[in-house]
Amino acid sequence: MHIINIVGARPNFMKIAPIVRAIEERKSQGIDIKQTLVHTGQHYSPEMSDILFTQLGLPEPDINLNIGSGSHGQQTGRIMEEFEKILFDIKPDVVLVVGDVNSTIACAIDAKKLGIKVVHVEAGLRSHDMDMPEEINRILTDSISDFLFTTEKSGTDNLIKEGHSSDKIHFVGNVMIDSLISNLEKADKTTILSELGLSEKNYVLATLHRPSNVDTAKQLEKLGSCLTELAKDKTIVFPAHPRTVANIESFGLGHLFSKTNNIIITKPLPYHEFICLIKNSHAVVTDSGGIQEETTYLGVPCLTLRENTERPVTITEGTNILIGTDPDRILEEYKRIDSSDNKQAPALWDGKAAKRIIDTLLSVQ
């Protein structure tokens, strides 16, 4: 079996790393399996790409398409054009995609049209919000995939409701948690807390990057004012997405996101440093998807600044609170945080999801 593994954006790297290791482990046992790692270049800056490969122990990509940024249509189209050439050249048995970014759907379409099996890892997650580009990518990728690997029961339930055959669906656990577990010791050894002058549980970690939160002056100002209020209680550490930084500057909101307001803005952080900050924070305020999972596993309270989540298990079994974007609600829920209310990790979030994925693929070839 020859598998092409696709990465493109930062969240993909954490999801693909354990899969790459699981394949290499099976190869070392004499199993006839080969892999090619293709990086589309959707995220290409050192902070968003290069250092993650190093920290996660990923090999250099066998192929880098160097697509770069652009509109959704431009980016997806360029990926499809360049990746199709790779498929004609390599002729793999399987293309494995993860998550819900433009690279995910673009490479899945190319493979399917050429009669190559498509594997979707993290299948079935649904926010039920078609205004999210990621939701469109998830639904379309699932609709053409031959193997659907789910991280939680809601994913399996969603796929069944949409008419997918149960034979294609495999509940295997969460590869993001595989990476988290395997990197915790290294995360504990970072010096990021001392570098930022922080102490355990005495700061709040914040991330904002979704267009609905950062692409209009009114909404970004509202959330900036809210963070300023939270910072009266504890220091806010804010690793800022490049687009968020650009919008803060263009909207003239730098006065809200300033160190004088007890807010520390950093560049996007390497994985180990970021996990260390999550683990030792009093709470996390975010609009990210993956962070909801990481906080749940680590038992850290998470306030999610969205109207919906595609990861409901982080609410029903984890530490996530979905609160929307109303500043009053954010402040209200923050006051209720109980850091001692740790919960157990959801089923199969045990560091072995990638092994289950590869063993399943090998068992049906």
Q: What is the CATH number of the domain that holds 34?
A: 3.40.50.2000
Which entry of 72, 128, 164, 209 is annotated as an active-site residue? 209
10 falls in which pLDDT band (50, 70, 90)?
confident
Residue-wise pLDDT for 231-280, tens only, equals: 999 999 999 988 899 999 999 999 999 999 999 999 999 999 999 999 99
How is residue 163 annotated by DSSP?
Answer: T
In this predicted structure, the answer to whether residue 365 has a pLDDT above a threshold of 80 is no
Our count of domains for the chain comes to: 2
Q: Do both 188 and 269 map to the same domain?
A: yes
Residue 178 lies in a domain: no
Active site residue 120: no
Please indicate, yes or no, whether residues 154 and 298 belong to a single structural domain of this protein. Answer: no
**Residue 3, SS3?**
strand
Residues near 76 by Cβ (< 8 Å), separated by ≥ 6? 102, 105, 106
Average pLDDT score, the chain: 94
Per-residue pLDDT at 44: 56
Report if pTM > 0.85.
Answer: yes
Query: How do residues 131-184 score in pLDDT, each as one tens digit?
Result: 999 999 999 999 999 999 999 999 999 999 999 999 999 999 999 999 999 999
Q: What is the pLDDT of residue 50?
A: 75
97 and 161 co-located in one domain: yes
| Same domain (yes/no): 291, 147 | no
Tokens of 342: 């740790």
Rounded Cα distance, 98 and 353, in Å? 13
pLDDT at 204 over 70: yes
Tokens 């997650």 sit on residue: 125
Instruction: Report whether pLDDT(48) > 80.
Output: no
Indicate the pLDDT class of residue 68, thresholds 50, 70 and 90. Answer: confident
Provide the domain limits for residue 254: 184-335
At 344, the pLDDT band (50, 70, 90 cuts) reads confident
Q: Does residue 36 sit in the same domain as residue 124?
A: yes
